[in-house]
Amino acid sequence: MSGVSYAVHCIDCGHTEPFRLVQTTCSQCGSNWREVHYDLEKVKPIFEHQLSERPFDLWRYRELLPIAEYIPYLSMGEGGTPLIHANNLGMMLGCPNLFIKDERQGPTNSFKDRQAAIAIAAMKEAEITEAVLASTGNVAIAYSAYAARAGIKLWAFLTSLVPLEKMREVAIYGTKVIKVTGTYDQAKRLAAEFARQRNLHLERGACSIPSVESMKTLAFEIAEQLTYYLRTNSDALANLPTKWKAPDWYVQSVSGGIGPLGVLKGFTELYQMGLIDRIPSIACIQAEGCAPMVHAWKANKAVADPVLNPKTHITTLSTGDPGRTYTLLRERMLRLGGGAFESVSDEETFRTIHILAKLEGLSTESAAAVAFAGTIKLLRQGIIKPNEIIVVNCTGHTMPVETLVLGDGWATDISISRLEMEAKPQEGLYGALSNLTPEKVRKIVIIDDIEDARRLLRRILQSQGDFLIREAASGMEGIQMIQEDPPDVIILDLMMPEMDGFAVLSHLQQFPDLASIPVIVVTAKELTKEEQALLRGKVKALMHKGKFMSDDLADEILEAIH
């Protein structure tokens, strides 16, 4: 489609031959492990000068995709998802450059849409009319949607742990759903055997060339979008020697590892063309109950021992045997001198779902939240530095399937009896609303000169309880608010122009009724011994900006008012 030549290169024997989807192994040595090499010299000027004329979807990178002919009727707007600056979460974590690649916004709401769009286009090109895959849910959903457009019949082998809502989504597209009572790895073996017996095309995951290649488009988009964002919001890129800026980190939740494998290849190709300034470090985050890659990485092993019995509620990430994908990833990450593999518990993940939803307005499936929980962990460990540019892939949105993350009492019931309604229709209806107002609403005053910080604090408080919140942008304004109507708790910043937090505190000390109001200091300042002494006995708690989580603050507040 592009006039740029490409060929398949065997990573075991080096043999190079033309790409044909139906030929799944190296014709020289029989290896399954091959990758596409492109004539990057030819691609470079196109990427440098022609992209801006193309629509913002993944086909704008067609010269680096192994598809001969773009087929318009298959397309549903795949790729081109937003890169969102995580203002609130970033502020809570002390990271000014935290970005979210929002893959929930793909046609079937996960980043598997990239894979499906390219893999199905390749199947169409190879005149395949029936195919088989195994999936933990999202691959089956995405492939089913694209297969429907392409007129390809699909067989999806799903482990019985996949939520029923997802299975029904697969079925509605017309795919044959085979529920396998067993692990994902077992479902994969069954699918492979079925495909062999029926002589049908099998989706081969990390050994499928179109699948790995599709994930590169994430890297290409991130480079373009990050550069655009930084250029328009700061002058940090004034002396950038390359066309685009790459982030310091790409973080993703990982199951089989196609995502990081493809993304790393994408960044590497951009780097080889001289279009980005460096190749980012990759962080692969797994669920603790199924973390074969993390175990192997930490034990410094090149081969991962399979986890035979995954123990996690996060079914999407239940690849127990990553096989050679891990070995390749590790090899490449070590060659680049870094990266990380880390795991997080289901509990940490569920907590992070709440943080993402309540602070950033992003409802995610648990598999996606794993990457964010991992980012927080790596920041805490000092592996990711707070001032680095971090892009986290928000891999999927499947709101209806998350049944475990909300406790009881997440909604307030109002029931209006028929009798009441007949007697006094208006009173019956509105009377019910009185249940919604708690007896005593606690009053909180936030004193902070930085608007973003006030918004974050307000948002944390709003999501944690019923509070009446007032904001003051200066010490003077805060004192005034407190004197007019004394609150139950004061949240105070220390560094403010004119009247700083210390001055506010000593002013309050002059009035016995105000001096007794609990004060929680939230500050970005490292305190000297003298300053700590100044605060002693006058504040209820001291919290450092960027070092506490939203529920830590809520805990302090609840303790202060009880």
Q: Containing H/E element for 281? A: strand 281-287
Q: Which residues partner with 100 through β-bridges?
A: 84, 392
Q: Annotate each residue in 390-409 with x if it binds ligand PLP (CB under 6 A) or - if it does not, as one string.
A: -----xx-------------
Contacts with 53 (C-beta within 8 Å, 6 or more apart), sequence order: none
* Cβ contacts of 285 within 8 Å, gap of 6 or more: 251, 252, 253, 254, 341, 342, 343, 344, 370, 371, 373, 374, 375
Say whether residue 258 binds ligand PLP (CB under 6 A).
Answer: yes
CB of 56 to Zn ion, least distance (A): 37
Which residues from 29-58 bind Zn ion, rule CB under 5 A? 29, 31
If the CB atoms of residues 226 and 369 are measured against ligand PLP, the closer one turns out to be 369
Stretch in the footprint of ligand PLP (CB under 6 A) among 44-52, 248-256, 447-455, 467-475? 248-256
Q: Which does 365 bind (CB under 5 to 8 A by kind): ligand PLP, Zn ion, none?
A: ligand PLP
Instruction: Please tell me the total number of residues recorded for the chain in this structure.
Output: 562
In angstroms, the CA 208 to CA 33 distance is 9
**With CB cut-offs between 5 and 8 Å by kind, which of ligand PLP, Zn ion, none does residue 31 bind?**
Zn ion
Total interface residues for Zn ion by CB under 5 A: 8
User: Which among ligand PLP, Zn ion, none contacts residue 313 (Cβ within 5 to 8 A by kind)?
Assistant: none
Binding residues among 145-204 for ligand PLP as defined by CB under 6 A? none
Decide if residue 287 touches ligand PLP (CB under 6 A): no
- Mask 135-154, x = binds ligand PLP (CB under 6 A)? ---x----------------
Pairing assessment for the beta strands 34-38 and 6-10 based on DSSP bridges: antiparallel
Among 75, 88, 110, 349, binds ligand PLP (CB under 6 A): 110
Tell me if 342 sits within 8 A of 378, measured CB to CB.
yes
- The minimum distance between CB 36 and Zn ion, in angstroms, equals 14
Q: Among the candidate windows 76-84, 360-368, 535-543, 545-553, which touches ligand PLP by CB under 6 A?
A: 360-368
Nearer to ligand PLP, 316 or 343 (CB): 316
Which of the stretches 25-33, 372-380, 406-414, 435-443 binds Zn ion when contact is defined by CB under 5 A?
25-33
**Could you say whether residue 344 binds ligand PLP (CB under 6 A)?**
no
Beta bridge partners of 6: 38
C-beta of 314: minimal distance to ligand PLP in Å? 9
257 binds ligand PLP (CB under 6 A): yes
- 318 touching ligand PLP, by CB under 6 A: no
Looking at residue 61, its amino acid is Y
Does 105 bind Zn ion (CB under 5 A)? Our answer is no
Residue by residue, DSSP assigns 7-29 as: EEEETTT--EE---TT--S-TTT
- Closer to ligand PLP by CB, 114 or 442: give it: 114
Q: Establish if 132 lies at the interface with ligand PLP (CB under 6 A).
A: no
For Zn ion, the closer of residues 13 and 421 by Cβ is 13
Give CB contacts under 8 A, 24+ apart, made by 545-548. 545/91, 545/94, 545/453, 546/91, 546/92, 546/93, 546/94, 546/95, 546/386, 547/94, 548/92
Tell me how far apart the alpha carbons of residues 67 and 54 are, in angstroms, rounded to a whole number: 17
Contact at 8 Å (CB) between 200 and 130? yes
Beta-strand relationship, 201-202 and 176-180: unpaired
| Beta carbon nearer to ligand PLP, 163 or 257 | 257
Angle at 552 between CA 558 and CA 371, to 5 degrees: 145
CB 158, min distance to ligand PLP, A: 13
Q: Which of 74, 202, 368, 479 binds ligand PLP (CB under 6 A)?
A: 368
**Residue in 217, 253, 312, 315 binding ligand PLP, rule: CB under 6 A:** 253
Name which of 124 and 204 has its Cβ closer to Zn ion.
204
101 binds ligand PLP (CB under 6 A): no
Binding mask 257-296 for Zn ion (x = CB under 5 A): ----------------------------------------
The least CB distance from residue 322 to ligand PLP, in Å, is 8
Coil, helix or strand for 3?
coil
Sign (positive/negative) of CA torsion 292, 295, 298, 303? negative
**255 interacts with ligand PLP by CB under 6 A:** yes
As a whole number of angstroms, the distance between CA 132 and CA 146 comes to 14
Q: Which residues contact 555 (CB under 8 A, 6 or more apart)?
A: none
The entry of ligand PLP, Zn ion, none that residue 15 binds, CB within 5 to 8 Å by partner kind: Zn ion
What are the Cα distances from residue 363, in Å, to 203, 305, 355?
Answer: 29, 33, 10
Segment (H or E) for 530: helix 529-535
Which of 2, 252 has the CB closer to ligand PLP? 252
Q: How far apart are the first and last CA of the chain?
A: 69
Beta bridge partners of 282: 250
What separation in angstroms does the CA of 420 have from each of 301, 361, 412, 550? 70, 38, 20, 42
463 binds, among ligand PLP, Zn ion, none (CB under 5 to 8 A by kind): none
Stretch that binds ligand PLP, among 47-55, 65-73, 231-239, 363-371 (CB under 6 A): 363-371
Which spans of this chain sit near ligand PLP (rule: CB under 6 A)? 110, 112, 138, 253-259, 316, 365, 367-368, 395-396
- Binding residues (CB under 5 A) for Zn ion: these are 10, 12-13, 15, 26, 28-29, 31
